[in-house]
Structure 1
Amino acid sequence: MNKILIIGAGQLGSRHLQGALQSALVLNITVVDPSDESLNIAKQRAEQVAINNAKSAVHYSQSLPKAESFDVCIIATSAPVRAKVTASLLAENKVRFIIFEKVLFQALNEYSDIEALLEQHNVTAWVNCPRRLYPSYQQIKELLNPDEVLTMKVSGSGWGMACNSIHFIDLFSYLCNSANLQTSENNLDTQLLESKRAGFYELTGKAKFMIGNHSLELECTTADEVSIKVALSSESNTINIDEMAGTINTAGTTLEQQFKHQVKYQSELTGLNIDEIINTETSSLTPFKESCQLHTPMIELYLEHINKVLNKKLLACPIT
């Protein structure tokens, strides 16, 4: 029986549980969260889905296990405690594979600290930026010529720039086949928005990143409606994705076409991720080291900006 550990049973963790129950494999799943309320939500959501393998079982706990071995661990806590939870987990248990939620960590030193810890404990890890798993983005990548310079722009409003930039930075990396990300421009607004979660901030304005000659511009306005549009252009292709409308329009050198953009929910993906990892010992998700390369320029930029606006010297970037 394959042992699975899910740490964090909140909104995302409970969806991971639903997804894990779609696995074709026999799973012994342990869900950990100090909040009894969160565990109850996870239980309710587990009951909303049909279990794909009747032999799978779920257990709930308010404390981390000790002296146990797990095949796959999903760390779905909030960013401020993720590094500490990872260290506590590996100090007491043996884990083969970890899937981390994002934003990975708030403090820059935690990226190198956890990378060293994973190496020390011989853990292979990935970061859950699932757009690279969406069939529509995989189809788009097939349309792009890897030898051409790619210009990518994400624009819209209300899409949570601070906490969700990494999704589009990761997509940019996936389409460019490189994680060598550098910050290019900071045109972020000087007014910070208080996040729904106390002590966290949201950002608006523009930020630009580069991978070699490829460029990514992120823009989020203060308009109330939620809109997300992704524009891709290269020498031989122009592709426009409206994520909210679910449409993709492409204009290439040979033909124009339109097809649907399909969002894959976490409850549809986690089981497939677990199956792939256990069966092949690899994953289509972003490797941990690559994701660190993508996270750190973003965290540096956003932390510097927030400190400047607040006139503080925070060491941890207050986004999650």
Structure 2
Amino acid sequence: MYNILLVGSGQLGSRYLQGLSRFNTDLEIFVVDPNLNALSIAKDRFEKMPKNTFSHEVNYFQNINELGNEFDLGIIATNADVRKKILISLLSQRNIKNFILEKVVFQTIEDFEVIIELLNKGKIKAWINCPRRTMPFFLKLKEEIPDQSIIRMFVKGSNWGLASNTIHMLDLLSFLSDQVHFKFDISNLDKKIYNSKRNSFIEIGGKINFFSNRGDKLELVDEKGKNKPFEIIIEFEKRKIHINQDLGFVKILSKEGLELGASKFVLPMQSEITKQIVKDILVHSDSNLTPFSESFILHQSMIEAFNSHLTKIKGKKVNICPIT
């Protein structure tokens, strides 16, 4: 039997719990959230899942101090602003072999540096949940991209959460291109700050570009207040992959725009992909998710870009990036 710790049972945390219900080995799961309502919703969602022939015992707590000391995996599905505090508490007081961390991981570079030191000291593995690189569609796409191809990615739509989802797109380009160091251009971001759907956090609109040293490009556009579909376009050599995530299709085009093929596109839900991700970590001590150290470099580019933008808007230095 494996012991799994899940910290944070909100919208995403409860989906992790549903995914764990599918696991084909006995699990003891410990769910922690100070919010009783969140715990109740997570419990209800878990109990509505189809029954599994394996035994999954789930325990619900409001306080980390109520937990035992030994865990095979810790999943930290909290907001970014409290994640460092939680990790410091867990890493200093308990033995947890592996971690999956939600993104945005932290709001400052310094938080990353503190946690990297603790993870290295304890020889603990950690991955960041940017799951597109684990999905069959993108794994197959990576295989089809010729070596050394320069990749251009264009992500556009309206009200899709540019600030909170940039790391997903930057991670995907990094995965497809095998590049991790990116410069940025923030000159076309909207000169205002938008409210996030989550209290105490912000959103950003307009256009931002990231560039690798060899010429790969990521262009992100979020046109606030409009009604445009969410699309991802990936170009390399003589191919263009056009993904319309809202309408659920993908087209393969020639460089000239001639349609070469089309198919359905469905982005799997967290509850559907958790089982395999967790199995890889528990059984093989590895994962196709982004390693912590690699995601740190990508987060650093993003945090520096957004902090520079916010500094210009506010007229004073911003060191904490208030996104999650």
TM-score interval for Structure 1 and Structure 2 normalised by the shorter chain: over 0.9
Q: 1:180·1:293 contact (CA, 8 Å) conserved in 2?
A: yes
Q: Distance in 2 between matches of 1:74 and 1:304?
A: 31
What's the counterpart of residue 49 of structure 2? 49
Q: Give 1:235 shift.
A: 1.9
Stretch moving more, 182-191 or 91-100: 182-191
Q: 2:149·2:177 contact (CA, 8 Å) conserved in 1?
A: no
Relative to structure 1, the CA distance from residue 146 to residue 223 in structure 2 (aligned partners, 3 Å threshold; closer, same or farther) is farther
Secondary structure, counterpart of 1:227 in structure 2? coil
What's the counterpart of residue 197 of structure 1? 198
What's the counterpart of residue 285 of structure 1? 289
Stretch moving more, 68-77 or 269-278: 269-278
Q: Give 1:304 shift.
A: 1.8
RMSD: 1.7
Secondary structure, counterpart of 2:15 in structure 1? helix
Secondary structure, counterpart of 2:72 in structure 1? strand
Relative to structure 1, the CA distance from residue 186 to residue 292 in structure 2 (aligned partners, 3 Å threshold; closer, same or farther) is farther
Partner deviation per Cα, 1:182-214 (whole Å, 9 max, x = no partner): 224532110111112222111111111112311
Q: Distance in 2 between matches of 1:302 and 1:257?
A: 37
Q: Which amino acid in the other structure matches residue 210 of structure 2?
A: F
What's the counterpart of residue 319 of structure 1? 323
What's the counterpart of residue 120 of structure 2? 119
Stretch moving more, 290-299 or 211-220: 211-220
What's the counterpart of residue 145 of structure 2? 144
Q: 1:186·1:301 contact (CA, 8 Å) conserved in 2?
A: no
Q: What TM-score results when the alignment is normalised by the length of structure 1?
A: 0.95
Q: Distance in 1 between matches of 2:226 and 2:25?
A: 43
Q: Which amino acid in the other structure matches residue 183 of structure 1?
A: F
What's the counterpart of residue 310 of structure 1? 314
Is 1:15–2:15 an aligned residue pair? yes
Is 1:156–2:157 an aligned residue pair? yes
* Gap regions ≥5 residues in structure 2: none
Is 1:267–2:271 an aligned residue pair? yes
What's the counterpart of residue 165 of structure 1? 166
Relative to structure 1, the CA distance from residue 264 to residue 51 in structure 2 (aligned partners, 3 Å threshold; closer, same or farther) is same
What's the counterpart of residue 2 of structure 1? 2
What's the counterpart of residue 233 of structure 1? 235
Q: Distance in 1 between matches of 2:60 and 2:226?
A: 38
Partner deviation per Cα, 1:270-320 (whole Å, 9 max, x = no partner): 111111111110001111111111111101111121232123433211111
Q: Distance in 2 between matches of 1:286 and 1:276?
A: 13
Q: Give 1:78 shift.
A: 0.3
Relative to structure 1, the CA distance from residue 44 to residue 226 in structure 2 (aligned partners, 3 Å threshold; closer, same or farther) is farther
Q: Distance in 1 between matches of 2:241 and 2:161?
A: 23
What's the counterpart of residue 134 of structure 1? 135
Q: Give 1:134 shift.
A: 2.3
Q: Distance in 2 between matches of 1:226 and 1:256?
A: 25
Secondary structure, counterpart of 2:294 in structure 1? helix
Partner deviation per Cα, 1:200-243 (whole Å, 9 max, x = no partner): 11111111111231111111101343621111112221111111
Stretch moving more, 72-81 or 238-247: 238-247
* Gap regions ≥5 residues in structure 1: none
Q: Which amino acid in the other structure matches residue 104 of structure 1?
A: V
Aligned length: 320
Q: Give 1:5 shift.
A: 0.2
Query: 1:19-30 to 2 correspondence within 5 Å?
Result: 19-30=19-30
Relative to structure 1, the CA distance from residue 2 to residue 169 in structure 2 (aligned partners, 3 Å threshold; closer, same or farther) is same
What's the counterpart of residue 183 of structure 1? 184
Secondary structure, counterpart of 2:110 in structure 1? helix
What's the counterpart of residue 102 of structure 2? 101
Q: 2:203·2:323 contact (CA, 8 Å) conserved in 1?
A: yes
Stretch moving more, 308-317 or 215-224: 308-317
